[in-house]
Structure 1
Amino acid sequence: MDTIQIVVLALIQGLTEFLPISSSAHLILPAEVLGWPDQGLAFDVAVHFGSLIAVLVYFRRDVWVLLRDGLGGLVNNRYTDEGRLAWLIVLATIPAGLVGLIFKGYIETHLRSAAVIAATTIGFGVLLWWADIRGKRTGTLAQLNWKKALAIGIAQALALIPGTSRSGITMMAGLMLGMKREDSARFSFLMSIPVIALSAMLLSFDLLSLEVVPWGDILLGTVLSCISAYLCIHFFLQFISRIGMAPFAIYRLLLGAALIWMIWG
């Protein structure tokens, strides 16, 4: 990868990791339009770590309280709202972990086509819009129970299908379960931490098999992905309660249409 490709794809990945618009769909477009080669393992490692750093820094106070109260509850058997939320995040992470371990090979071999990504981009875009319109939008994180957390976790497991969007489908599930927009987004971002961390670690083990590791590319991709992801989280939480999911759903429909045009046009 040359420097321009690293810069463009790292910024795209950082922005789309937390917006409900599918990062995998966006990484196809530059490759198709500009004829760029596959970004490779080093880039995947870089952007995963960049996104992880961004969400940890942005939610650093929340993460500290969740860890403190979650582990503290095990010791004294008294759980605060934050301690209970910590274990709900753990519960919600289990489905994606299991599905990833079992079906990772199949998904990478059979479901990474442009046709699949176009279909999921459009299909889940429609569902996101429907959930935003039909959802009650009254539930808060304090009212979240284990059944709803597990349901959101199962939705997150479906995001392993390229084009679905991890943030998109988890926010959609939260809205369907009656959560407020900002609360569903916050839970989606918090539950992304263990998933991204596990994914980054697995990719890092694969990176060790490379004879030559492009550390300069990794550093640049990590920094750019981190900055764009941090800004994305900040502004998304600032405006989501006002703008809703409609703009993102419409964008997904247009993006899916563009992918279809590139495939069969």
Structure 2
Amino acid sequence: MEAHTILLALIQGLTEFLPISSSAHLILPSVLLGWRDQGMAFDVAVHLGSLLAVLYYFRYEVVSLAIAWQRSIRGKEQSAESRLAWSIVLATIPACIIGVIFGGFIADFLRSGWVIAVSTIVFGLLLWWADKIARLHKSEYQTGWRGAFLLGCAQALALIPGTSRSGITLTAGLMLGMTRDAAARFSFLMSIPIIFLAGSHQATGLLSAGAIIPWSAMGLGIVVSFASALACIHLFLALLNRIGVMPFVWYRLGLGAVLFWVMAGQL
């Protein structure tokens, strides 16, 4: 059980912030090895670990944005930081609305291996195309209200399993003319409220159901997902401008092909 927890938390932490789809990776152990679902408590744990990792990595930016946002609310000051903070707030809204309206439908009908395989390939090719046409000249501070809303709509698409929240928001950022680094940083920052809200929703459901909470497994999941997500963020930002997105595109195509092969073998 510990080995299962460590491996799944490691996969979640590493793939949450890479443009390669965490859901595509998490389905493989259950399909290939017959591992059962770890349950809602595990989901809460790995989301918390990922959230703590991105908060720690961007701690100075988060504090600066929070202070600027509060000042803008009080009407004292408008700045580049406050506009970026409001852009992140705006970008969070579409996923929340779509999640509330279609969350049940997505959970019931779209969480299949076939959907994940198709999404992994299709959105991988879209990432390739976006990078190919990208103008790469805007920073994360130049998204504007329209850009922030479109990035939020892209994030809402990530509710489709296999899409990859990081991948689709990076794709949208590149299509809007952002540099790779800026698109990735905005994607990481906009992940904070959405991961917090998703984790809070899961935790509320867990508590209201009166489920028995496996505290040791949760603690292990938090630690492993935190460490792996932190390493992932650091390496991704350090290497993105050097290697571009094509290694991730090729990886997604290969992963999608493997998923198709696995699912076809079950027919």
Scaled to the shorter chain, the TM-score interval is over 0.9
Deviates more, 1:213-222 or 1:138-147: 138-147
Deviates more, 1:19-28 or 1:142-151: 142-151
Deviates more, 1:136-145 or 1:12-21: 136-145
For 1:5-16, what aligned pairs fall within 5 Å after superposition? 5-16=4-15
TM-score, with length taken from structure 2? 0.97
Q: What is the one-letter code of the residue matched to 2:158?
A: A
Query: Deviations 1:166-213 (Å, cap 9, x if unpaired)?
Result: 000000000011100000000000000000000010110111124311
Please report how far the alpha carbon of residue 79 of structure 1 lies from its aligned counterpart in structure 2 after TM superposition.
Answer: 1.1
Please report how far the alpha carbon of residue 77 of structure 1 lies from its aligned counterpart in structure 2 after TM superposition.
Answer: 4.3
Hey, what does 1:244 align to over in structure 2? 244
What is the rounded CA distance, in whole Å, between the counterparts of 1:258 and 1:211 in structure 2? 35
1:132 aligns with 2:145: no
Q: What is the one-letter code of the residue matched to 1:248?
A: F
Hey, what does 1:213 align to over in structure 2? 213
Q: What is the one-letter code of the residue matched to 1:254?
A: G
1:168 aligns with 2:167: yes
Hey, what does 1:261 align to over in structure 2? 261
Unpaired segments ≥5 residues, structure 1: none
What is the rounded CA distance, in whole Å, between the counterparts of 2:37 and 2:226 in structure 1? 21
Hey, what does 1:82 align to over in structure 2? 81
What is the rounded CA distance, in whole Å, between the counterparts of 1:13 and 1:253 in structure 2? 19
For 1:94-133, what aligned pairs fall within 5 Å after superposition? 94-133=93-132
Q: What is the one-letter code of the residue matched to 1:92?
A: A
Identity, % of aligned positions: 56
Hey, what does 2:39 align to over in structure 1? 40
Unpaired segments ≥5 residues, structure 2: none
Aligned-CA RMSD value: 0.8
Instruction: Report the number of matched residues.
Output: 264
Please report how far the alpha carbon of residue 263 of structure 1 lies from its aligned counterpart in structure 2 after TM superposition.
Answer: 0.7
Query: Deviations 1:30-77 (Å, cap 9, x if unpaired)?
Result: 111111111211110110000000000110000000000011012134
Q: Secondary structure at the match of 1:76?
A: coil
Q: What is the one-letter code of the residue matched to 2:229?
A: A
Q: What is the one-letter code of the residue matched to 1:20?
A: P
What is the rounded CA distance, in whole Å, between the counterparts of 2:108 and 2:147 in structure 1? 32
1:151 aligns with 2:150: yes
Query: Deviations 1:99-126 (Å, cap 9, x if unpaired)?
Result: 0111111100000000000000000000
For 1:33-72, what aligned pairs fall within 5 Å after superposition? 33-72=32-71
Please report how far the alpha carbon of residue 232 of structure 1 lies from its aligned counterpart in structure 2 after TM superposition.
Answer: 0.3
1:196 aligns with 2:173: no
Please report how far the alpha carbon of residue 142 of structure 1 lies from its aligned counterpart in structure 2 after TM superposition.
Answer: 2.4
Q: What is the one-letter code of the residue matched to 1:250?
A: W
TM-score, with length taken from structure 1? 0.98
Q: Secondary structure at the match of 1:39?
A: coil
Q: What is the one-letter code of the residue matched to 2:146?
A: K
Q: What is the one-letter code of the residue matched to 1:212?
A: I
What is the rounded CA distance, in whole Å, between the counterparts of 2:145 and 2:76 in structure 1? 17
Deviates more, 1:14-23 or 1:77-86: 77-86
What is the rounded CA distance, in whole Å, between the counterparts of 2:211 and 2:138 in structure 1? 51
Q: Secondary structure at the match of 1:162?
A: coil
Query: Deviations 1:124-174 (Å, cap 9, x if unpaired)?
Result: 000001111111111112222110110010000000000000000000000
Q: Secondary structure at the match of 1:193?
A: helix
What is the rounded CA distance, in whole Å, between the counterparts of 2:168 and 2:44 in structure 1? 23
Please report how far the alpha carbon of residue 224 of structure 1 lies from its aligned counterpart in structure 2 after TM superposition.
Answer: 0.3
